[in-house]
Amino acid sequence: MADISETIQETIEQSKENRMNGWVAILVSITATFMALCNIKDGNLVQAMSQAQAHSIDAWSFYQAKSTKQSLAANTVELLKIEHHTGSDSVIKKLEAKIVSYEKEKEAIKKQAEGYAKEYDDINVFDDQFDMTEAFLSIAIALFGVTALTQNKWLLYFASFLSFAGFVFGLTAFFEISIHLDFMSKILG
């Protein structure tokens, strides 16, 4: 009779463990799937950031080239004024017009370069959110694994909380809602 009650007790405990392991398996699969989707979106954001950064660098290089041309034209004007060559007045006027033109072009290029830099910064906020998503979800998955081994309910709840936090960061990043934790980014950056 004692053997039967021990067998029944073991069966009940095993079904409780299997039920918790079933929940853990479901939570891990949902968490891992969401993390995979976030990684795809984050990869696309990183590509967009790289493109914005490349455009910014190109624009600043173009700005520098215009500055160099402007400087050369200004120096040439100074030299022509010092040497007083006949017929140099028309060349000086053309170069002075070019100098003004370069200044206007530089302003437009500067605005464009600053726009690319702002685009990079704007995208980076969501990249950071996806990074936080990955961190929370990775920790949650690891804790779900420990939960399956230890069968501790509090650990299941804690891992679920971390998974929920990861989902919040991921969904806000998907919908481009900025929740940026500067202190976390500084710690992890």
Using one digit for the tens of pLDDT, what is the confidence trace for 73-97?
Answer: 999 999 888 887 777 888 889 999 9
Q: Does 64 fall in a domain?
A: yes
Number of compact structural domains in the chain: 1
Q: Does 100 fall in a domain?
A: yes
pLDDT over threshold 80, residue 59:
yes
The mean of the pLDDT values for the chain is: 90
Mean pLDDT of 91-109: 94
pLDDT over threshold 90, residue 64:
yes
DSSP 173: H
Confidence (pTM):
0.77
pLDDT over threshold 60, residue 154:
yes
Residues 92, 110, 129, CA angle at the centre, nearest 5°? 170
- Pairwise pLDDT comparison (175 vs 182), residue with the higher score: 175
Residue 162 structural domain? 28-188
pLDDT over threshold 60, residue 9:
yes
Q: Does 43 fall in a domain?
A: yes
> What percentage of the chain's residues is helix, strand, coil (to nearest 5)?
90, 0, 10
State how far the Cα of 93 lies from the Cα of 72, in Å rounded to an integer.
15
